[in-house]
């Protein structure tokens, strides 16, 4: 089975071809981060318009790179949600139209399910069950995964997502969007001892997160300590240490509570080097990551997730809808 995957939930246009026998055949990505950088965050209308401009040429390109004709496709998968409604509609319209024209099944995929299955694209793929730490710009979650569609949300952020906290902290420090890589790079030169940021919700039981206090702490500390180059780097480091420490503490707790020894880390913040270093040092735990390119949004994970469901017997649907808000816990195993 050969599946074209289309991702347009936010500010990346991603397309890919995944094949049962040959694995990932090709993927192409256009990032809009330069378009949004001047505004300090994603502007939804600009995102939709750019997806419209990019999507057809990208699909042509990915098919050419895969050496595949569109008639060789057996199914089309696209991100149905969660995400920006206008942006989602672009991928959904294109993938649905192709599915109808080619008379193939089309399937709307859950973006976070695709993130948590992304490590399956690697040679060293995890087997079930595993605990997934999903850390993106819109979500922070710990999920017990017993199979495709068999998800138990163990904990999640009560306010800002981890990526959002990175992005807001970046803004406070005068760094460009997207903030995660910018904060991480400034933090490299910072002193980890100078500022001790709080580790929110680690002093009580439970697996939920809360990150909105971290940006307030950054703002207040910056006000009193000044904003010279060295102080900004120390703040970036202090923030990153607190974020990583908090995520690691909760992962350790989730693994202990579930008795599971495999951990998957996915979503944009999963690209963070300091987080990876600390998780790799966890005792008796095998940690799996997607390759760096597939931590952030991409078409490959959508093609893979669509393929996983369709090849397990799910039939696709004719429903042309997007679901900008969509709870991961509402998903069920593929229905044959
Ligand atoms: O998964 P993703 O590409 O998009 C969403 O679905 O949200 O995640 C984007 C988020 C952004 O908030 C970005 O700042 C963060 O991931 N990010 C990072 C790093 N690379 C991307 N955060 C920390 N360290 C990084 N190296
Ligand atoms: Zn994402």
Residues by chain with Cβ below 5 Å of ion ligand 2: 136, 297
The pLDDT tens digits of the residues spanning 69-113 come to 999 999 999 999 999 999 999 999 999 999 999 999 999 999 999
- pLDDT value at 336 more than 70: no
At residue 316, the pLDDT reads: 87
E strands present in 75-212: 75-81, 106-110, 130-135, 140-147, 150-156
Q: Compute the distance between CA of residue 221 and CA of residue 226 in angstroms, rounded to an integer.
A: 8
CATH for the stretch 2-117+294-330: 3.30.420.40
> What does the DSSP 8-state code read for residue 72?
G
Expressed in angstroms and rounded, the spacing between residue 60 Cα and the centre of ligand 2 is 23
CB–CB of 27/64 below 8 Å?
no
Q: Is the CB of 268 under 6 A from ligand 1?
A: yes
Rounded average pLDDT over 259-263: 98
At residue 258, the pLDDT reads: 98
Q: Compute the distance between CA of residue 183 and CA of residue 211 in angstroms, rounded to an integer.
A: 16
What is the domain partition of the chain in residue ranges? Answer: 2-117+294-330, 126-289
Sign of the CA dihedral running 133, 323, 49, 113: positive
Q: Is the CB of 138 under 6 A from ligand 1?
A: yes
Q: Compute the distance between CA of residue 162 and CA of residue 275 in angstroms, rounded to an integer.
A: 12
Q: What does pLDDT average to over the chain?
A: 96
**Helix H or strand E segment including 199:** none
Expressed in angstroms and rounded, the spacing between residue 179 Cα and the centre of ligand 1 is 8
Q: Is the CB of 136 under 6 A from ligand 1?
A: yes
Q: Which mutation among 80, 160, 166 tests ligand 1's pocket best, with the greatest number of atoms within 8 A of CB? A: 166
Expressed in angstroms and rounded, the spacing between residue 96 Cα and the centre of ligand 2 is 21
Domain pair 2-117+294-330 / 126-289, same fold: yes
Two structure tokens written together for 155 = 């904990």
Nearby residues of 101 by Cβ (< 8 Å), 6 or more positions away: none
| Ligand number with the minimum distance to the CA of 163 | 1
Confidence of residue 318 (pLDDT cuts 50, 70, 90): confident
Residue 280's CB: how many other CB atoms inside 10 A?
12
Q: Does domain 126-289 have CATH number 3.30.420.40?
A: yes
| Ligand number with the minimum distance to the CA of 269 | 1
Ligand 1: which atom is nearest the Cα of residue 295? 1
Q: Is the CB of 296 under 6 A from ligand 1?
A: yes
Rounded average pLDDT over 195-211: 95
């Amino acid at each position: 089975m050969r599946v074209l995957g289309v991702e347009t939930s936010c500010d990346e246009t991603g397309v890919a071809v995944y094949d049962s026998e040959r694995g990932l055949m090709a993927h192409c990505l256009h990032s809009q981060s330069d378009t949004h950088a001047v505004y300090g965050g994603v502007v939804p209308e600009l995102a939709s318009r750019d997806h419209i401009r990019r999507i057809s040429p990208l699909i042509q390109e990915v098919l050419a790179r895969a050496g595949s004709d569109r008639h060789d496709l057996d199914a089309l998968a696209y991100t149905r949600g969660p995400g920006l409604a206008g942006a989602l509609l672009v991928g959904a319209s294109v993938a649905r139209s192709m599915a109808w024209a080619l008379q193939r099944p089309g399937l709307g995929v859950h973006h976070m399910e695709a993130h948590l299955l992304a490590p399956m694209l690697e040679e060293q793929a995890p087997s079930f069950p595993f605990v997934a730490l999903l850390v993106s710009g819109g979500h922070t979650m710990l999920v017990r995964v017993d199979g495709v569609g068999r998800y138990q949300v163990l904990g999640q952020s009560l306010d800002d997502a981890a990526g959002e906290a990175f992005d807001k902290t970046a803004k406070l420090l005068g760094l460009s969007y997207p903030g995660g890589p910018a904060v991480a790079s400034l933090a490299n030169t910072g002193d980890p001892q100078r500022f001790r940021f709080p580790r929110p919700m680690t002093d009580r039981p439970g697996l939920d997160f809360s990150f909105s206090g971290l940006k307030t702490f950054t703002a207040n500390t910056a006000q009193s300590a000044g904003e010279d180059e060295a102080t900004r780097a120390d703040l970036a480091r202090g923030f990153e240490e607190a974020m990583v420490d908090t995520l690691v503490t909760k992962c350790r707790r989730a693994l202990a509570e579930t008795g599971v020894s495999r951990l998957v880390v996915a979503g944009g913040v999963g690209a963070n080097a300091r987080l990876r270093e600390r998780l790799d040092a966890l005792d008796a735990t095998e940690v799996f990551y997607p390759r760096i390119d597939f931590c952030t949004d991409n078409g490959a994970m959508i093609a893979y997730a669509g393929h996983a469901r369709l090849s397990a017997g799910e039939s696709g649907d004719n429903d042309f809808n997007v679901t900008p808000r969509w709870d991961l816990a509402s998903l069920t195993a593929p229905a044959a």
